[in-house]
Structure 1
Amino acid sequence: MEIIVCPTPEEVGRRAADSVLAALPDDRDPVLGLATGSSPLGLYRELGRAVSEGRADFSSAYGFALDEYVGLPPGHPQGYHQVLLREVSETVGLPPDRLNVPDGSGRTLAELTAGARAYEERIRTVGGVDVQILGIGANGHLGFNEPGSALTSRTRVKRLAARTRTDNARFFETIEDVPTHCVTQGLGTILDARRLVLVATGSAKAHAIAAAAEGPLTASVPASILQWHADTVLVLDEDAAQLLTNRQYYDDAAEGLG
């Protein structure tokens, strides 16, 4: 695991974008795993800057969202398909017809489960995810894999934790409008990506970051599976990194061989 601590959120976005770009293939269409929320916005802006400067091209890329709410009507502005159209497709030039989002429109568990299986198959069809971009929940969730999620889980229907709904209520008129369920990539699905790049800023994420990076591997902290991946990069600001006990080593390691 590589941990990079930056002095400002703006630098977090730049360093995280560099980590994404460095892992994209140049001999085939790249495949990005996409997170929503406020944490990766700076990263997406920096990827857009790279495109405008001719350092990157996502016109033939595929994008796969981590998750989607269950039960929102088509075109709802807080549905993650619409969010990613605004925050990623319009920013980096990823074609809308190559943006894939789990299907949360099913009316029954059987329909939702069938859609989740189809989503896994779409990821396999394009050769898997090259770089999975991640945020982290204050309770340690990845995607919508809440505490207690199986470490080998695949894309499936999950109930959202009360804390997650409360955290996401800022995007809706009232908390009653926040869906109670979602379809999310599983932790095992996330681990299949060739590189994981997690972005976190702010002191509200400090406990989750410390538990994920330095605590035991446990379903109680889903993000602790980052320790199990061979190519994981955490890009943090000072506030998010404040509870890391091995900080000096991470800073020394980030200097490289020089």
Structure 2
Amino acid sequence: MKVIVHADLDAIGSAIADSIQQLLSEKPNANLGVATGSSPLAVYRELARRHRDSGLSFAQAQAFMLDEYVGLAEDHPERYFNVIDRDFASHLDFAEGTIHGPNGLAEDVELEAREYDESITVAGGVDLQILGVGSNGHIAFNEPGSELDSRTGTIALTDQTRSDNARFFDDDVSAVPKLALTQGLGTIMEARKLVLIALGEGKADAVHALIEGQVTPEWPVSILQKHPDVTVYLDTSAAGKLTDPALYLAN
């Protein structure tokens, strides 16, 4: 695992964009794994700038989303398919139909989960997966206690996660859905490269569990210790509970 602490969020976005640009230069039809939330926004802004200013193209690529709320209306602004379109896909040149996500409005969500998991495999797997982490250590919506080899499925969101996400719902926790469809930890671990971004003091416990703790279902993010190609980007606040954050400071 490579860990980089950087005080400059734009520098983090640029470094990850470099990795994605390199991947696309080697494999134009790459499969990207995309995440919602505030952590990846600097990456998405930088990719949009490079597309606009330098012609970086996603025309042959595909993107696979990590998760989706169950039951959120198709036109709801916080439906993750709409969020990814707003923050990411609409600024780039993806071909129609190449942004994929689990359907939280499916009649049979368990069948939808299995079929979405299979669709990733059929597409050849994810080449580079962007991840954030929740304050309780969840990645995607794999909450504490999730099986470390779990596949895509439905999960009940914890009160902590719903409280954390209430800021996207006008601070009304009652408006946050109680269920989500999410790639499982086992599914995520099949991506060839993982890039995790953690920002802010609220992520410091999860970061400590990831980098200095034991692998345990109680901190789902800790499973990344077992992946052969992981890069973790932190700001100084997220790194605040590491034994020696200075070891990881960017040059």
* TM-score, length basis structure 2: 0.94
Match of 2:176 in 1: 178
Note the aligned Cα RMSD (angstroms): 1.6
Are residue 211 (structure 1) and residue 221 (structure 2) matched? no
Alpha-carbon displacement from aligned partner over 1:7-39 (angstroms, at most 9, x marks no partner): 222222112222333344624511110100000
SS state at 1:233 partner = strand
Counterpart selection for 1:128 from 102, 122, 125? 125
Taking the aligned partners of 1:168 and 1:156, their CA distance within structure 2 comes to 20
Contact (CA 8 Å) 1:89, 1:95: kept in 2 or not?
A: no
Distance in 2, matches of 1:18 and 1:131, equals 12
Change over 3 Å in CA distance of 1:63–1:71 after alignment to 2:
same
In 2, Cα distance between the equivalents of 1:134 and 1:205?
Answer: 13
Are 2:82 and 1:82 equivalent residues in the alignment? yes
Mapped to 1, the partners of 2:165 and 2:152 lie a distance apart of 21
Report the Cα offset of residue 83 of structure 1: 0.5
Q: Take 1:119 and 1:139, find their aligned partners in 2: how far apart are those partners?
A: 26
Which residue is equivalent to 1:144? 141
Letter in 2 for 1:4: I
Identity score, percent: 45
Structure 1's 150 and 25: CA in aligned 2 closer, same or farther, altered over 3 A? farther
Letter in 2 for 1:172: F
Q: Give the distance between the partners of 1:27 and 1:61, measured in 2 at CA.
A: 9
Partner of 1:53, secondary structure, is helix
What does the per-residue CA deviation read over 1:74-117, in whole Å, with 9 as the maximum and x for residues that have no partner?
Answer: 1211100100111111223333411111111134xxx1111011
AA paired with 1:205?
K
Structure 2 gaps, min length 5: none
Q: Is the 8 A contact 1:200 1:236 kept in 2?
A: yes
2:221 corresponding residue in structure 1: 223
Cα shift at 1:53: 3.5
Report if aligned partners of 1:67, 1:101 keep a CA contact under 8 Å in 2. Answer: yes
Q: Is the 8 A contact 2:23 2:30 kept in 1?
A: no
> Which residue is equivalent to 2:37?
37
Distance 1:197 1:143 in 2: 13
Counterpart contact for 1:68–1:102, Cα < 8 Å: yes
1-side partners of 2:25 and 2:216: how far apart? 32
Q: Which residue does the alignment assign to 1:117?
A: 114
> Which position in structure 2 is the counterpart of 1:99?
99
Aligned length in residues: 250
Secondary structure class of the residue paired with 1:234: strand
The 2-side partners of 1:103 and 1:204 are apart by 30
1:169 counterpart = 2:138: no
1-side partners of 2:55 and 2:243: how far apart?
A: 36
Given that residues 204 and 240 in structure 2 are in contact (C-alpha distance below 8 angstroms), is that contact kept between their aligned partners in structure 1? yes
Q: Structure 1 residues 140-149 or 209-218, which shifts more?
A: 209-218
SS at 1:97 equivalent:
coil
Question: Which amino acid is 2:93 matched to?
Answer: G
Report the TM-score, using the length of structure 1 for normalisation.
0.91
Query: For the residues of structure 2 that align with 1:140 and 1:43, how far apart are their CA atoms?
Result: 21
| Equivalent residue, structure 1, for 2:7 | 7
SS in 2 for 1:152: coil
Question: Once the two structures are superposed, what CA deviation does each residue of 1:122-158 show, in whole Å capped at 9, x if it has no partner?
Answer: 1112110000000000000000000000000010000
How many Å separate the matches in 2 of 1:45 and 1:224? 28
Paired amino acid for 2:21: L
